[in-house]
Amino acid sequence: RRPGKSLCDGITSAPELGKPIYEKAIKQHDAYIEALKQCGVDVTVLPAMEEYPDSCFVEDTAVITRCGAIIDNPGAGTRNGEAKEMEPTIRQFFDDDHIAHITAPGTLEGGDVMMVGDHFYVGRSARTNEEGIRQFIEILEGWGLSGSEVPLEYVLHLKTGVNYLEDNNMLVSGEFKTKPDFEKYNKVEIPEDEAYAANCIWVNGTVIVPEGYPTVLKAVQDLGYKTLVVDTSEYRKVDGGLSCLSLRF
Ligand code: CIR
C-alpha cells in the first residue's frame, strides 16, 4: 500500500529520528516495488489510506501461508481497522475455505510472525497476545502446519530483530542471538549499530537489504546470496522496515 501524507503521524518509538519526509518516502516506495519486480514477483499496489498513518505496513494485517490466509487482529488501536481494509484484496487470491481470522480478545500482527518452511514462529509482544497466538496456532494446525511462541522483551515485532533467509540461514540481533528457539539455524549475528538491518527479506533467492548497513550487506553476500539494496530511511523513522512493506507469497 502506498504511504499517505499521514505517514508522518505513524506510531514511532524513535521520535529523535524526526518525521518521515513524504516525497522521499514515495521515492523509496517506488524503489522497493522495483526491487520486488526485479526478484520476479507480481506486485499488487494498493492506494494510500490517509486515515491510517501506518497502513503502508501491510505485513501486519495478515499472514499468508501456502495453505491459506489468516486475517490478523492488529493490537495497535489506530491500526486495527487496517485488516478489514486488506481483506478484499486477499479474497482476490483465496476463497472462503482458505481464509481464517484472528478475533478479539485475541490480537496478532504479521510483523510478529516468521515463516520457516511449514513452521511459524510467533512473537508474544505488546501487539500480539496469548489468545491471538493460541488462535493462530490452532488455525495453522488445522491446515497441517505448526507454530510456536517466542516471548519478546525489547523489540516491537519478532521480525524487527530476527529474519529467516531460507537455506537454514537466519539473521539475528539483540535478544534473538541467544534464544534457544533459533539454536539449530546458521545464525548470522548482527552488530548492535546495524540492528535495524536484521530486517532483510529473501525473495526468490535474492536478499533485499536496507541501504546503509555495510556489515550486514557483506554478511549476506558472504552467504552466497545475490543482493539488492533499498533505502528505507523514511520508514525507519516510524519503526518500519523492508518486511513490513509487503505481503509476500
Ligand atoms: C507501527 O508501530 O505499527 C508502525 N509504525 C510500524 C510497523 C512495522 N511493522 C512491522 O514491523 N511489521
Q: Calculate how far, in angstroms, residue 10's C-alpha sits from the geometric centre of ligand 1.
A: 9
Concerning whether 8 is annotated as a catalytic residue, the answer is no
The confidence score (pLDDT) of residue 190 equals 97
**Residues 7/53, Cβ–Cβ less than 8 Å:** yes
Strands of the sheet with 206-210, listed across from one edge: 201-203, 206-210, 226-230
The confidence score (pLDDT) of residue 223 equals 98
SS3 call for 211: coil
Concerning whether 157 is annotated as a catalytic residue, the answer is yes
The confidence score (pLDDT) of residue 186 equals 98
**Residues 70/101, Cβ–Cβ less than 8 Å:** yes
What is the pTM for the complete model shown? 0.97
pLDDT tens for the 249 residues of the chain, in order: 999 999 999 999 999 999 999 999 999 999 999 999 999 999 999 999 999 999 999 999 999 999 999 999 999 999 999 999 999 999 999 999 999 999 999 999 999 999 999 999 999 999 999 999 999 999 999 999 999 999 999 899 999 999 999 999 999 999 999 999 999 999 999 999 999 999 999 999 999 999 999 999 999 999 999 999 999 999 999 999 999 999 999
Could you identify the atom of ligand 1 that is nearest to the CA of residue 59? 12
- For a mutational test of ligand 1's pocket, the pick from 6, 64, 152, 239, i.e. the residue with the most ligand atoms closer than 8 A to its C-beta, is 239
8-state DSSP, 108: B
Q: Is 68 left (phi over 0), alpha (psi -120 to 50) or beta?
A: left
Grid cell 534457544 — which residue?
Answer: 180
**What Å distances lie between residue 204 and 192, 201, 226, 249, CA to CA?**
28, 10, 10, 10
Q: Calculate how far, in angstroms, residue 29's C-alpha sits from the geometric centre of ligand 1.
A: 15
Nearest CA to ligand 1 atom 2: 11
The confidence score (pLDDT) of residue 191 equals 97
Q: Calculate how far, in angstroms, residue 244's C-alpha sits from the geometric centre of ligand 1.
A: 7
